[in-house]
Chains A and B, each alone.
Chain A
Amino acid sequence: MTDALLQQLLNGLSIGFGYALIALGLTLAFGVLHIINFGHGEVVMLGALTVVMAGKLGLPYIVAVPLAMLVGVLAGWVFDALAVSPLLGRPEGRTDILLTTFAMGVLFNQAVLSVWGPAPARVDGLQGRLELAGVGLSSQRFFVIAASIAALAALDLLARRTRFGVEMRAVAQGEHAARVVGIAVKSVGTRAFLLAAAVGGLGGALLAPITSYSPMLGQAVLIKAFVIVVLGGLGSAGGAVVCALGVGVIEAMLGLVLEEGLAAACVYSLMLLVLLLRPQGLAGAVR
């Protein structure tokens, strides 16, 4: 029984880290630019698609992952140029951005559909399996965990130790104040958005071997990511990560004792409960 628990813990963690990366992209854009990117799911999908395409060209998965981040950045750049930056200065711009990012997401999705079709595809990822004390984990899931931790650590370092990171936090806390000290607010915002897109692309690339690629992938994960972002405390990166891991592990654990529909309903009910008990989100717990 403990083996099964440990196994589920690992499975839950691997999925939880995937959620974390996707939620992190959303929360970054919210934290710095105060916008909600309704098209973020499509960036994740493009990351997954990149790995598929790279596989078809014969590139090894490990090479395709950074490529997916690059594609995420490119997609993010298009999003920013057409659907975000031009609206930021407008009085109701941040509301309008809900609509423009949604529309951009649809356009990306439709473009992918018309070029590559709606068919799903397999992503092989890393092969093999690691056995540890009677518990097995596929290399891919292990890689998801390791790569996510590495990415999160890198982001943390970036936010704390680099000039760009501190500037990003400054813009998040006060746009006018940031301008007063000479921070190029617009450029910091754009770079933060691109960073969010890169993280989203990475999330897609890491999850694709587990979930299989499909053009609908983005929409499937986005709802959960939204809930995680809010539960974690809007704009709080630490809260989002903790919350994502929690959701992943709880889902996996509940799955052991409940059937899937019921388990999902339980997870959502738990979320409502958290809203009731900790209205400020989990952010306070993990500053």
Chain B
Amino acid sequence: MTALLQVEELSVRYGANRAVRGVCVEVRPREVVALVGANGAGKSSLLNALLGLVPHAGGRIQLAGRRIDALSTRERIAAGLALSPEGRRVFPELTVEENLDLGDLGRDLALRREQRDGVYHRFPRLLERRTQLAGTMSGGEQQMLAIGRALMARPRVLMLDEPTLGLAPVIVREIAGFIRHIRSAGVSVLLAEQNAEMALGAADRAYVLQNGEVVMHGGAREMAAHPDVRSAYLGL
């Protein structure tokens, strides 16, 4: 099977500091891929570089066979990438609906409406709160909004950065459930997650990052069973 998202030898640099060093990652169609690693291993930097939020210092990024590493963030989103960022980052003083609409880059209002209805269908809580200011919602609801906003761009690969950070177990379960659903709807997911247990439970394959480098990768089940992963990331 050919890769949908193919990352080759990607590097990211902050000043003299190399946050990501020659990382190769691939995400295939209808696949959930987890990035596992300690704090500061480079997971967020990698996702941000894929979307062009931080300049990458080298490497190639291909989406559906097309080079996207020279494109602007906007063009990458149009090409089929979308991110729900770390810390949720919703627009606190815009309404839920305005937040969602910002996720859609297209100009077709009917299509936007349809897409919005899809998001509301997935997250009925957002429909209840559609005219509420995003900043007044609870952490779990904001996380749903951040994911919904990313979905509005109709991504082929949805990137989730720490989607369960600071969330209650019920919501964590809900998000894990969402990830399974969205895969079955044909969207691939690239998931960076501190909660390795949840990540490996939801993913098909996983990459382990350490100091900005991929040190291990393989099927999620095998990884969860690997003694190094168990001791270093699962605390078992």
Contact = CB atoms under 8 A, between A and B. Distances in A.
* Direct A–B touching, Cβ under 8 Å: yes
Interface string A251-277: 000000000000000000000000000
Interface in B76-98: 76-78, 83, 85, 89-94, 98
Interface of B: 51, 53, 72-74, 76-78, 83, 85, 89-94, 98, 101-103, 105, 149, 153
B93 A179 contact: no
Interface stretch (A17-25, A52-60, A166-174): A166-174
B85 A182 contact: no
Given A182-B73, A182-B74, A182-B76, 7 more contacts: A166-B98, A173-B93, A174-B90, A174-B91, A176-B53, A180-B85, A182-B72
A81 to B, nearest CB: 21
A1 interface: no
Contacts of A178: 91
A173 B93 CA distance: 7
A173 B102 CA distance: 13
A177 B73 contact: no
20 contacts: A166-B94, A166-B101, A166-B102, A167-B102, A170-B94, A170-B102, A173-B92, A174-B92, A177-B89, A178-B91, A179-B53, A179-B73, A180-B51, A180-B73, A180-B83, A180-B89, A181-B77, A181-B103, A182-B105, A183-B74
A178 B74 CA distance: 11
Interface of A: 166-167, 169-170, 173-174, 176-184
A176 B89 contact: yes
B51 A184 contact: no
A181 B149 contact: yes
A169 B105 contact: no
A181 B78 CA distance: 10
B102 A176 contact: no
Nearest to B51: A180
Contact of A170 (B74, B76, B77, B91): B91
Report whether over half of chain A's contact residues are helix, strand or loop; otherwise say mixed. Answer: helix
Contacts of B83: 180
Nearest to B78: A182
Contact of B72 (A166, A169, A177, A184): A184
Chain B CB within 10 Å, residue with most, of A167, A170, A180: A180
Nearest to A171: B91
A223 B105 CA distance: 41
Contact of A174 (B73, B74, B89, B98): B89
B73 A169 contact: no
A173 B74 contact: no
Nearest to B105: A182
Contacts of A169: 91, 93-94
Chain A CB within 10 Å, residue with most, of B76, B89, B103: B89
Contacts of B78: 182
Contacts of A183: 74, 102
B105 A177 contact: no
B137 to A, nearest CB: 14
Contact of B74 (A176, A177, A184): A184
Contact of B53 (A167, A174, A180, A184): A180
A181 B102 contact: yes
A173 B85 CA distance: 15
B89 A182 contact: no
Contacts of A170: 91, 94, 102
Given A180-B89, A184-B74, A173 B94 contact: yes
Contact of B153 (A167, A176, A182): A182
A170 B51 CA distance: 18
Contacts of B76: 182
A247 to B, nearest CB: 26
A177 B85 contact: yes
A170 B53 CA distance: 16
Nearest to B88: A177
A170 B101 CA distance: 11
B68 to A, nearest CB: 13
Contact of B85 (A167, A176, A184): A176
Contacts of B102: 166-167, 170, 181, 183
A183 B52 CA distance: 12
A188 B164 CA distance: 31
A208 B93 CA distance: 37
